[in-house]
Amino acid sequence: MSLTIGICRVHLRLPENHSLKGKRQVLKSLVARLHNKFNVSAAEFDDHDSWQIASLGLTYASNDERHAASVLAAVISFIERERLDAEIIDYETEFVRG
């Protein structure tokens, strides 16, 4: 059995946001919901000083690459469907096998 780590970089636009404090609130809520619903790890990794742009790194570990891909795809769908305050600009997914 092998380990697969799915990595997804998500670039978001926060059009309704007007401050870094507001950005932190949106991201804190989003990260908590993603962790609770999908058991993914998430953290902001870039664009720290921009209050309407955010870059999140998401990871998910599994013994099945198809399962990891499915979970990360569900995360993207969830953000698009549920988070009207965060618009996905772009995302990329890759897998590391160990």
pLDDT digits (tens, 9 = 90+) for 7-65: 999 999 999 888 999 999 999 999 999 999 999 999 998 888 888 999 999 999 999 99
The pTM of the whole model exceeds 0.75: yes
CATH 3.40.50.300 holds for 4-97 = no
Pairing of strands 53-62, 87-97: unpaired
The mean pLDDT value for 80-95 works out to 93
Please choose, from the candidates 27, 26, 80, the residue with its C-alpha nearest in 3D space to the C-alpha of residue 90. 80
Residue 1, pLDDT > 70, answer no
